[in-house]
């Protein structure tokens, strides 16, 4: 069993912002892979289904970003999951828009959602799918930048990612992060 988590902030004012890219991508995975729709549970929107025979839980916390760990921790405890069973999709300003990196463990890079999850789980050893949103232009505060929407040109890149990431989710669930990144890179390049 795996728990897919898409990080973001609740509310229409944050919809489709850079900081909600993890949440948006998880919603697209749920839609494209025909997972059952979710219910309010664990302080978020929660669902349960199967991808290539693997039982998968999915969770979009409806706490604010800096309290994401409360939602994730509640689901992990209820289903008696290990931190290694948790896969978190999140925005990352240290990667260019459209770039994706996957890894297990590591620091939080100043990301409050990751920091909260690490604190609640007591370890950084969960899977992260880092979704690049790029750095803010000079003179623009990082918080203001990630809480802003994408430009029309950036939306094209975002939409390619929304289309391609669900295709590699079975490999991610199998733990083949390297293979998933290679396949995703090839698919994104072919889609340009």
- Where in the sequence numbering do the catalytic residues fall? 19
Q: What b/e readout covers 118-129, taking b as 16+ CB neighbours within 10 angstroms?
A: bebbeebebbbb
Q: Tokens 């050893």 appear where?
A: 125
CA nearest neighbour of 168 among 89, 79, 59, 72: 89
Q: What is the C-alpha separation between 23 and 98, in angstroms, rounded? A: 15
CA nearest neighbour of 17 among 157, 151, 147, 165: 147
CB within 8 Å of 33: residues ≥ 6 apart: 49, 51, 166, 169
171 three-class SS:
helix
Q: What is the C-alpha separation between 76 and 64, in angstroms, rounded? A: 18
């Amino acid at each position: 069993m795996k728990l897919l988590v898409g990080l973001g902030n609740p509310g229409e004012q944050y919809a489709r912002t850079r900081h909600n890219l993890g949440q948006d991508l998880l919603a697209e995975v749920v839609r494209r892979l025909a997972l059952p729709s979710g219910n309010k549970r664990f302080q978020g929107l929660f669902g349960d289904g199967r991808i290539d025979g693997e039982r998968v839980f999915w969770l979009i916390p409806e706490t604010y970003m800096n309290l994401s760990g409360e939602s994730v921790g509640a689901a992990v405890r209820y289903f008696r999951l290990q931190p290694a069973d948790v896969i978190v999709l999140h925005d990352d300003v240290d990667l260019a828009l459209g770039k994706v990196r996957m890894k297990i463990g590591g620091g939080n890079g100043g990301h409050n959602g990751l920091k909260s999850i690490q604190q609640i789980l007591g370890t950084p050893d969960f899977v992260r799918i880092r979704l690049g949103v790029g750095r803010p232009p000079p003179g623009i505060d990082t918080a203001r930048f990630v809480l802003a929407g994408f430009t029309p040109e950036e939306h094209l890149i975002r939409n390619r990612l929304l289309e391609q990431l669900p295709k590699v989710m079975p490999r991610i669930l199998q733990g083949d992060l390297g293979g998933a990144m290679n396949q995703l890179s090839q698919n994104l390049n072919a889609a340009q």
